[in-house]
Structure 1
Amino acid sequence: MKLFVIFIKKLALDLKNRFKNLVSAYTSNKDLIDSFWNTLENNYTEKHRVYHNFSHLEELFTYFDTYKVELKNADIVSFSIFYHDIIYNIWKKDNEEKSALVSLDQLSKINLSSDFLENIHQQIIATKTHDAIDNDTKWMIDFDLAILGTSSEVYSNYSKLIRNEYKLVPNLLYKKGRKKILQHFIDKPFIYATNEFRRLYENQAKLNLTNELNAL
């Protein structure tokens, strides 16, 4: 348990440093940057989050660091990653919309153009629809869905964490909703938007989703 606590603290510190370095390129107001970070930290450390927390952000940034060279505007994608799940309420269906609004409310206070902010907004919304036209949004979506194409063991743990987040939802209702989501992805011609992720993860993702669906 002690090692786990140390790991979580290091994870938060790494993300905090990454965030502050990112925002510092657009404002020198340290109090404002601290305020932004406190909002992120308070939300991503909510007790009900066992998957959509700092570990999830770190997971996305691992892919981000690997494929950063493919991005047209890496800073926009970075902001989108930080804010895309800042609102996460299992009883609501507008989490992405609300997360996007929080990002605009905060980031409009620093030196970002309207186009820059709109791109962040659209990328966050895209994590709900999983549809994208532009290059950077395709990568953003694939980073967010990468967990679906991991090994069967990693995916199994992920699915258990998701169930834990929805532990207040009765089993019958959860299975009904989960089956709908799984079938949606299985029926898509491609889960992933980029050729790279299709090559690396598409087949495994379809297998993982099918196995979970059959087990429900």
Structure 2
Amino acid sequence: MRPDGWIAAGEARAERNVGDAPPEAPDGLVLPEPLWGAVRAAYGEPGRAYHDLAHVGEVLRRVGEVARDVGWRRPREVFLAALFHDAVYVPGRHDNEARSAELAREAVVRWLPGEGLDEGLIERLILLTARHGALDPADVGEEEALFLDCDMAILGSDAAAFDAYDRAIAAEYSAVPPELYAAGRRRFFEKLLAAERIFLSPYFHARLEARARDNLRRKLDAGA
């Protein structure tokens, strides 16, 4: 969705008072109704079997765990980056993250002026999600590693949740011939397993690394 269409959708939803209540933001940040309407419009686009508001909610749950156990230096920026990181999602495109970062900046400028937010940090966190599986811990800072791991935490979930995630990703790529999709998925799983670490932060590495590797090996053994 183009930024102007995304903004119009948010304002239209706000006028109709459509949608569930927004998630609670940290440090007194209040999400204006048009911003939340725009987020709902973006994640409600057809074809999203995994990259929807449920996924955002799960990432925010992980963000909350880190806030409780470790703490964030810029919690409001992390929250907004999580909220917008998949605002644009078209399977197979390579500019989803860049377009999502653009929408995040547009939202902050339009609806959260004067909040003292670091727009560059929000953009940087979102853009880094394009490099999942291609980064080492030394490539990122502590909070960047934690943020990326919040997004990847599904890999270390229990087997049932992981399998549901895997089916949902396949549904999003249903237009791709099955043999091509399966080959690409195998390459991605093999790349993750070949890495020294799947999770970049000590926090998630200690909690989820072993289970993530078990899930990936199980899928590969099953012919994923």
In structure 2, distance between residues paired with 1:146 and 1:191: 10
Deviation digits for residues 79-129 of structure 1 (CA, Å, limit 9, x no counterpart)? 000000000001311111111111112212322557x11100110011111
Residue segments in structure 2 that go unaligned for 5+ positions in a row: 1-18
Q: Is the 8 A contact 1:19 1:37 kept in 2?
A: no
1:24 paired residue number: 30
Shift of 1:74: 0.7
In structure 2, distance between residues paired with 1:187 and 1:133: 19
Give secondary structure in 2 for the equivalent of 1:18.
coil
Shift of 1:18: 2.4
Shift of 1:177: 1.4
In structure 2, distance between residues paired with 1:113 and 1:119: 12
> Partner amino acid for 1:52?
H
The aligned length equals 196
Q: Is the 8 A contact 2:25 2:76 kept in 1?
A: no
In structure 1, distance between residues paired with 2:216 and 2:93: 23
> Partner amino acid for 1:140?
F
1:167 to 154, 158, 174: 174
Shift of 1:71: 1.0
Shift of 1:21: 8.6
TM-score, length-scaled by structure 2: 0.80
What is the percentage of aligned positions where both structures have the same residue?
22
Residue segments in structure 1 that go unaligned for 5+ positions in a row: 1-11, 26-32
Alignment of 1:97-176 (within 5 A): 97-109=98-110, 110-113=113-116, 116-130=118-132, 131=135, 133-176=140-183
Greater share of helix: 1
In structure 2, distance between residues paired with 1:61 and 1:91: 25
Q: Is the 8 A contact 1:85 1:95 kept in 2?
A: yes
Shift of 1:23: 4.7
1:204 paired residue number: 211
TM-score, length-scaled by structure 1: 0.83
Aligned-residue CA RMSD in angstroms? 2.1
In structure 1, distance between residues paired with 2:28 and 2:101: 18
